[in-house]
Amino acid sequence: MHDGILLIVSAPSGAGKTSLVQALLERDPGLGRSVSATTRAPRPGERDGVHYHFLSVDTFRAELAAGGFLEHAEVFGNLYGTRAADVRRDCTPGRGLILEIDWQGARQVRACFPASVGVFILPPSAPELERRLRTRGTDSDAVIARRLAQAREDCAHWEEYDYVVVNDRFETAVADLAAVVGAERLRSRRQLGLPACLDGDLLAI
């Protein structure tokens, strides 16, 4: 049995993070996804409690003042945060919990959970990133330009993460994420006590 794995996944907007995490979750029943709280308005199809906990600014600030957030950040004028209670409830031995947060949030979580694992997802190139942002079709040119500029800034933080995955071929990137999770489960320092095969057996000389 390994300890609960807190997996931080960050990426610039348009790198494909959400789809990759979704595919990983479908492949691996031992993983869950933390639902962030946010003050931004839901996009079409987004449901409260599933994609985000959609909070009013007042509610968010009250929870924040009460120390209820493990990390929080303001992005494009909206607040985002991870509730500490959710992580405590879901990141349990034998399980993994995925936090989809940005590099600012990752820094805060790393400070509280040094054993957390950080993965940064990169698009294969800047032109491909722009193409993906345009294909999504929900944003104006001005928003896309702002997102591209933000993406360049975000990418500068890739070295703060334990692993870097390039999302060129989607299936390869999912397999890469699965390998990271698989390997982290095998880490000696994550084993709670002795591996079962050693317990009172091989080590009993």
Among 35, 64, 144, 166, binds a second copy (CB under 8 A): 166
29 is a contact residue toward a second copy (CB under 8 A): no
Sole window of 25-33, 51-59, 108-116, 186-194 interacting with a second copy (rule: CB under 8 A): 186-194
Among 164, 169, 170, 192, binds a second copy (CB under 8 A): 164
Per the CB < 8 A criterion, the answer to whether 155 and 13 are in contact is: no
Rounded Cα–Cα distance for residues 30 and 49 (Å) = 20
Q: Which of 192, 191, 169, 172 is nearest to 180 (CA)?
A: 172
Is residue 124 part of an annotated ligand binding site? Answer: no
> Who's near 79: CB < 8 A, 6+ residues apart?
37, 38, 39, 40, 57, 60, 61, 64, 72, 73
What minimum distance in Å lies between the beta carbon of 134 and a second copy?
Answer: 16
97 is a contact residue toward a second copy (CB under 8 A): no
What minimum distance in Å lies between the beta carbon of 75 and a second copy?
Answer: 18
Unique residue bearing structure tokens 């294909």: 135
Binding residue ranges for ATP: 11-18
Binding residue ranges: 11-18
